[in-house]
Amino acid sequence: MNKKIRKAVLPVAGFGTRVLPATKSLPKEMLPVFDRPAVHWVVEEALEAGIEHFVFVTGRNKSSISDYFDRAFELEETLARAGKIKQLEMLQNMLPVAGSKSFVRQQSPLGLGHAVWCARDIIGDEPFAVLLPDVLVQAQKSCLHQMVEAYEKVGGNIIAVDQVPMDQVSSYGVIAHGERNGNIMPITDMVEKPKQENAPSNLKITGRYILQPEIFKCLETQERGAGGEIQLTDAMHQLMKMQKFSAIEFDGEDFDCGSREGYTEAFLAYALKDEDLGGNIRTIVERLLK
């Protein structure tokens, strides 16, 4: 039996330089995507997949993230006094239960691999998920949920992948794979931010991972890779020599909120999907396009 995936790491220490000036004094993870911060959508995705504990790897100026996932007594009190029960209940119901969040600081911006390594003591000796909150995935069944189901079938380490045009591969981690079994395939190679001519395929790593705890050993001694940063992809490449890695081409659409186009696309996509307002928003967009 594969051990249950109970914990998730959310690296939220980055500066968000691609979406300045919006992120000058607001963490990029707190930028609203329709009616809630981006990171809230990611936490919802993880909760749907059965995650019980969240490890946020934060940096300086990120305290609004921990405030967001805490009670807001003055606000709740004011809503209660004003009889705004619907809003009050929404705030109270959206919180993961007390004690289910940990916050660790990544003291220096040494890269994604280093950020994940900072969570090692809280994760301990069990498999865990990593969700990059830059990436939002809209799907019928949440992306991480699909990955957990794949993990229950094949075990090992699982990475979510999606096709990108070849001229964009150099912005991502890219995999090579063996024979597909449905939408799951064994990974045979992976490389972080390859030049187009060296990319082993057009399948990019989309920022969702299920990893075995042995990854921390690989991260501990990991040297700097692409961009001078300690890369998670390099550590996974090392672990691949000892453990099985599978990719899942998930069902759903992913948005890279770290870029201005991706962020705008995500905002529109989530607004258009809203049960109450989606129809009105479609009318607004159509009018603007005329």
Give the interface with ligand G1P as residue ranges (CB under 6 A).
Answer: 112, 132, 134-135, 172-173, 192, 204-207, 231-233, 256, 258
Radius of gyration of the chain (CA): 19
Q: Are 61 and 27 in contact (CB under 8 A)?
A: yes
Q: Which residues, listed in sequence order, are joined to residue 177 by a DSSP beta bridge? A: 187
Return the number of the residue (45 or 192) whose C-beta is nearest ligand G1P. Answer: 192
The residue number with the shortest CB distance to ligand G1P is 173
User: C-beta of 140: minimal distance to ligand G1P in Å?
Assistant: 22
Alpha carbon distance 209, 227 (integer Å): 21
Alpha carbon distance 155, 151 (integer Å): 5
Q: Which residues, listed in sequence order, are joined to residue 184 by a DSSP beta bridge? A: 181, 248
Count of helices and strands (H, E) across the chain: 11, 13
User: Which contiguous run of DSSP H or E holds residue 41?
Assistant: helix 38-48
Return the number of the residue (39 or 79) whose C-beta is nearest ligand G1P. Answer: 39
Return the number of the residue (45 or 256) whose C-beta is nearest ligand G1P. Answer: 256
User: C-beta of 3: minimal distance to ligand G1P in Å?
Assistant: 25
Return the number of the residue (51 or 234) whose C-beta is nearest ligand G1P. Answer: 234
Q: How many residues would you count in the chain?
A: 290
User: C-beta of 229: minimal distance to ligand G1P in Å?
Assistant: 8
Return the number of the residue (79 or 106) whose C-beta is nearest ligand G1P. Answer: 106
User: C-beta of 111: minimal distance to ligand G1P in Å?
Assistant: 8
What one-character DSSP code corresponds to residue 10?
E
Q: What is residue 286's three-state secondary structure?
A: helix
Return the number of the residue (30 or 112) whose C-beta is nearest ligand G1P. Answer: 112
Phi, psi of 130 (to 5 degrees): -125, 130
User: C-beta of 49: minimal distance to ligand G1P in Å?
Assistant: 18
User: C-beta of 11: minimal distance to ligand G1P in Å?
Assistant: 9
